[in-house]
Amino acid sequence: MILSALLTSVGINLGLCLLFFTLYSILRKQPGNLYVYAPRLVDKEKSRQQESGDFDLERLLPSAGWVKNAWQLSYDEILSISGLDGLVFTRIFTFSLRVFTIAGVIGIFILLPVNYFGNQLSDDFGHLANKSLDSFSISNVNDGSNRLWVHFSAAYIFTGVVCYLLYNEHNYMSAKRIACFYSSKPQPHQFTILVRSIPSSSGRNISETVESFFTEYHPSTYLSHSVVRRTSQIQDLINDADKLYRKLGRMKSNNHSQQTFRRDGFLGLTGRKVSLSDHYEKKLEDLEVNVRMEQNLSDGEEVPAAFVSFKSRFGAAVALHIQQGVNPTEWVTEQAPEPRDVHWAFFSSSFIKRWIFKLVVPVASFALIVLFLIPVVIVQGLANLNQLEVWFPFLKGILSLTVVSQVITGYLPSLILQLFLFFVPPIMLTFSAIQGYISHSRIERSACSKMLWFIIWNVFFANVLSGSALYQVNVFLEPKNIPRVLAEAVPGQASFFISYVVTSGWTKLSSELFRLIPLVCSFCKRLFSGKDGNEFEVPSLPYYNDIPTILFFGLLGITYFFLAPLILPFLLVYFCLGYIIFRNQLLNVYAPKYETTGKFWPIVHNSTVFSLILMHIIAFGIFGLKKLPLASSLIIPLPVLTLIFNAYCQNRFLPLFKAYPTECLVKKDREDQNEPGMAEFYDKVVSAYQDPALMPVQYPRSTDRDTSPLLHSTEV
């Protein structure tokens, strides 16, 4: 790729971004789009009054007020709006901006000139605009040249800077986590643990076993427990009832005057004519009765698991951290998630099913990640028109048209690839869900890691090591060849990744802002069914999908920093845009459904360390290829030092992301002792962990149809 082509691409994408921004700034002011662009605010019913006003001209003028609002948002506000997870998410941008500002200064002002004035590639004829992008990369530095020591020093300095910033950030995040804990009100999940694999004892049911065990061994701190029950059948019934209720609601509102009839006999063909809505209402009543019957019956379906609550946080921690029973596979304890975060379906699947999935899912994920390349390669085979003509001779006439052939070779493969990629995050989420985690937040975290590996393998390695998929796996079976193979392949893909940042990165951000799919959906809904206010739900930010993408751009920046510093300005633009856009989205669009309390941060840390090590491996290979063996050997301490740094960070910070220390727990418990509302709170804790499927079900009758349904609520 030559420089002018890159600049054209940048120009087009910049234009597109500006267009999206302008459209956004207009569309967001239309009251009809409120549910698309500010659902969080609508939910809080703050802005409803403000913006319900009449039409005025200002609504059609683009404005940059939202940028200012997003910019001014402080970290404390983010914390109060989106919790620690939102803070982690915005801090990824802050951290990346810091890293790549420093990297950019070093890269553009020191490395780029060194690369440019080398003449290994010797294409110094022609104008600057016709220069290949490769002449800005390390490939252009002469073999064995002492100028490579500049790159060598840059690698050391950059690693130092990243580690320093990473340490600071980790420190900041863990301090915030503790501060949040200190400032939090008493919450049921702080006082509760989940106990699984409760042994069955003869003559006693599970509830009695739990009661006697904890009153015996934790007499002074034990408060209460609630045994979990298998509720998949009830949940199915409730889902049916919900569907029926919605159908009924729609039917009533649409055809308020005209009555529809059907016969109540076999297949609706025989028997007495009844009003269709009466028929459904009867069915709904039957379902309700069924649900209630099942709820009362299902005592026998107790699962050997219970949420056990204690009178103090420290009491819960004691039971959590120390092995309870003599058999370590019984009385297994783990932290209870927030009540709204519990993944109740987990308890309904049988032990053997969970066990098999636990073994199978990692294998399946690994297979999906590694073998995803195969369909991609096949699809890219479409670009090979001759092959296609051999397979489908009747297409010959069509394929000879220039337009068709261009579409097929140019756009179709990448379109199909994007389509494939579109389905991967939900697949990963499903994988994580059946893998057997008890909370939604844990599932998301697991899906996040899976997605990260997926992207790194299928975008980075697949592009770098082009060739057959099998050959690539082979490379990783011969570890000693890895640095050489990477060093040969990675610099060559610099121009591809620069344009990847510009096209994929920038576009993703502006489409995030523009929310095209929700916009279209909302438009269609309004077109066909009038208002859509009732069934409106505030979305939560899909961290498992967005964090890996951002981290991948970080990886690109770190690995290409000393190979092709030209990528850095484009990355900086990406991170600046992301910084503003996601702050805006957190402010207006997303509201968290549950909290991981900052547990995404270790993923960010690990990914950054991985990127650094990858850079070092490539550097080791590059200096070997460039015939500077001394630099190649002197780079070896760098990954070792980085790993030691990582081990230190794991020791220093990771425990704080797993559990709270005695000091915090005891202090917080002491504060509570003087609180007057604790007795009331204990009552709340006792009933907090109720499976929503076991809540009383009551659909409002026809007379009070307009109020929102009295559905089972999981809030406490």
Instruction: Note the residues at the interface with its own copies (CB under 8 A).
Output: 178, 216-217, 317-319, 321-329, 359, 477-480, 644, 651-656, 659, 661-666
Nearest to 100 by CA among 499, 489, 637, 559: 559
- Per DSSP, the three-state class of 182 is helix
Cβ 192 to its own copies, closest distance in Å? 17
- Comparison of 41 and 308: residue with beta carbon closer to its own copies: 308
Cβ 194 to its own copies, closest distance in Å? 16
Per-residue 3-state assignment (H helix, E strand, C coil) for 372-409: CHHHHHHHHHHHCHHHHHHHCHHHHHHHCCHHHHHHHH
Cβ 284 to its own copies, closest distance in Å? 47
Cβ 650 to its own copies, closest distance in Å? 10
User: How many angstroms separate the CA atoms of 498 and 495, rounded?
Assistant: 5
- Comparison of 33 and 597: residue with beta carbon closer to its own copies: 597
Q: Which secondary-structure segment (H or E) carries 306?
A: strand 302-310
- Comparison of 117 and 182: residue with beta carbon closer to its own copies: 182
- Comparison of 195 and 591: residue with beta carbon closer to its own copies: 195
b/e per residue, 537-573, with b = 16+ CB within 10 A? Answer: ebebbbbbbbbbbbbbbbbbbbbbbbbbbbbbbbbbb
- Comparison of 105 and 640: residue with beta carbon closer to its own copies: 640
* Structural tokens at position 147: 């100028």
- Comparison of 40 and 313: residue with beta carbon closer to its own copies: 313
Cβ 318 to its own copies, closest distance in Å? 5
Cβ 169 to its own copies, closest distance in Å? 17
Contact 435, 357 (CB under 8 A): yes
- Comparison of 71 and 217: residue with beta carbon closer to its own copies: 217
- Comparison of 185 and 658: residue with beta carbon closer to its own copies: 658
Cβ 125 to its own copies, closest distance in Å? 45
Whole-Å CA distances, 695 to 113, 192, 234, 298: 69, 20, 11, 13
- Comparison of 174 and 596: residue with beta carbon closer to its own copies: 174
Count other Cβ atoms within 10 Å, centred on residue 55: 9
Q: Are strands 332-335 and 192-196 parallel, antiparallel or unpaired?
A: antiparallel
User: How many angstroms separate the CA atoms of 566 and 10, rounded?
Assistant: 13
Cβ 307 to its own copies, closest distance in Å? 18
- Long-range contacts of residues 167-176, Cβ cutoff 8 Å, at least 24 apart: 167/645, 167/649, 169/91, 169/95, 170/601, 170/605, 170/649, 170/652, 170/653, 171/653, 172/91, 173/87, 173/88, 173/91, 173/598, 173/601, 173/653, 174/653, 174/656, 174/657, 176/79, 176/84, 176/87, 176/598
DSSP single-letter state for residue 461: I
- Comparison of 1 and 654: residue with beta carbon closer to its own copies: 654
- Comparison of 101 and 184: residue with beta carbon closer to its own copies: 184
Sign, CA torsion 26/540/84/93: negative
Contact 99, 161 (CB under 8 A): yes
Cβ 359 to its own copies, closest distance in Å? 7
- Comparison of 128 and 647: residue with beta carbon closer to its own copies: 647
Cβ 321 to its own copies, closest distance in Å? 4
Contact 605, 553 (CB under 8 A): no
- Comparison of 178 and 421: residue with beta carbon closer to its own copies: 178
Cβ 666 to its own copies, closest distance in Å? 5
- Comparison of 352 and 477: residue with beta carbon closer to its own copies: 477
User: How many angstroms separate the CA atoms of 525 and 520, rounded?
Assistant: 9
The residues pairing with 306 across neighbouring beta strands, listed in sequence order, are 195, 227
* Structural tokens at position 163: 């580690």
Residue carrying the six token digits 């296609």:
388
Question: Which ranges constitute the DSSP H helices of 627-716?
Answer: 629-634, 637-658, 662-673, 678-688
- Per DSSP, the three-state class of 1 is coil
- Comparison of 239 and 327: residue with beta carbon closer to its own copies: 327
Q: Which secondary-structure segment (H or E) carries 228?
A: strand 222-229
Contact 187, 335 (CB under 8 A): no
Cβ 621 to its own copies, closest distance in Å? 16
Cβ 568 to its own copies, closest distance in Å? 34
- Per DSSP, the three-state class of 696 is coil
Cβ 358 to its own copies, closest distance in Å? 11
Cβ 364 to its own copies, closest distance in Å? 15
Strand segments (E) across 496-630: none
Q: Which secondary-structure segment (H or E) carries 46?
A: none
- Comparison of 95 and 214: residue with beta carbon closer to its own copies: 214
Cβ 345 to its own copies, closest distance in Å? 24
